[in-house]
Amino acid sequence: MKICFWGDISGALKGKTTGGGELQVALLAKALALNGNEVFIVDPFTKEGFTTSEGVTVITVPGWNDGIRGIRLFKHRIPALSTALKSVKADFYYVRMRSYFNYLSYKAAKKVGARFIMAIASDLDLLGFSLKFRYSYKPHFNLYKLLAVQIPSDVIFSFLARRADILLRQHRGQTIDHLRLKGKTAIFPNVIETFTPIIQVKDKQDYFVFAGTINMLKGADKLLELLGKLEKKCKLIIIGQARDSKSQEIYTSLAKFENVTLKGRLPHSETRELIAGSKALISTSYFEGFPNVFLEAWASGVPVISLNVNPGGIIQENQLGIFCNGSLESMQKSMEEFDPASFDEARIMSYVNENHDFGQMGKRFMKIINF
């Protein structure tokens, strides 16, 4: 079976992840290649093509950066990416994350008689424009970007979701009834990479940890509000950087709390160690898909205290932590009265092994697409 992906994935294939979605695409590509499939990634953002040890072939897009900025999109980028995608002549074309360029993958699939697979990257993908604008577009508003990139990408997402041969959801809470779908739907959750050993810390330290980008979508405002209420005995390590001016103001304010340690951006290995040594991971995000950082915490037996995000209700269902259902008061109480003995570390780790194991990723995917 020949499968084609596209996007800024080369870094993730080499262990330098640019984002959670890119990481999951890279992991899926590797898993499918290890299962004996021909796997190609068309990456217009890399200068040199290469083949990974697992057998994933990365193809460049000649001419991607040709021309004058502002007119190169139609004259160079769209034709070049379209040609590269069609040249693969795959059996399946897969896209993830909102981008109007995904339409070219769909057209390539139709041109060569392949099936088109679309994966929902975040719960935000399924929201209406007003909520997307409030939580994602408004905090770092740019009129040109809104009109030229964000709105077209939203329109293309809805168009492709209705026409995909297979639409993949990350969890059962991602409601898709309003899309009037043509093809098959299936749940295909994120996995945790197992190329490096899972970290376990027997003697947990007396701190909670927040790990992620500091922005409004990740609930930077709620994090600040929480710390204003929290007892000083609750120590919090914050890993991550601010991405916009509003979030930078909040980040500066976070430094004023004596029970907060700001680590900034850290290497992935250090982040994993701090998570593994914590009492619990906390999340104030408004929307996610299936957060990779949740999986990393659970893989080390660390529970999660989440304000808004609870993928498919699994936190309570599998005793993986505490879901606060949007209540800061509940989150405050959960942290101040936190009892590690309430959580079974072995049970938490077992959940990840059974449901998010990289070793089973390729087989699960092939079972879905072979219908």
Residue 45, SS3 per DSSP = coil
Does the residue 371 lie in any domain? no
Q: Verify that 143 and 291 share a domain, yes or no.
A: no
pLDDT (0 to 100) of residue 273: 94
Q: Verify that 64 and 166 share a domain, yes or no.
A: yes
Residue range 292-320, pLDDT digits in tens: 999 999 999 999 999 999 999 999 999 99
Does the residue 366 lie in any domain? no
pLDDT (0 to 100) of residue 246: 84
pLDDT (0 to 100) of residue 371: 65
Residue range 46-93, pLDDT digits in tens: 999 999 999 999 999 999 999 998 789 999 999 999 999 999 999 999
Q: Verify that 29 and 161 share a domain, yes or no.
A: yes
If you count them, how many residues does the chain have?
A: 371
Q: Could you tell me the pLDDT band of residue 245, with boundaries at 50, 70 and 90?
A: confident
Q: Verify that 137 and 282 share a domain, yes or no.
A: no
Domain that holds residue 66: 2-188
Q: Verify that 136 and 259 share a domain, yes or no.
A: no
Q: What is the DSSP string of 158-226?
A: HHHHHH-SEEEESSTTS--GGG---SEEEE----B--SSPPP--SS--S-EEEES-BSTTTTHHHHHHH
Q: Verify that 182 and 218 share a domain, yes or no.
A: no
CATH code for the domain of 113: 3.40.50.2000
Tokens of 275: 């998570």
Q: What is the count of structural domains for the chain? A: 2
Rounded Cα–Cα distance for residues 301 and 293 (Å): 13
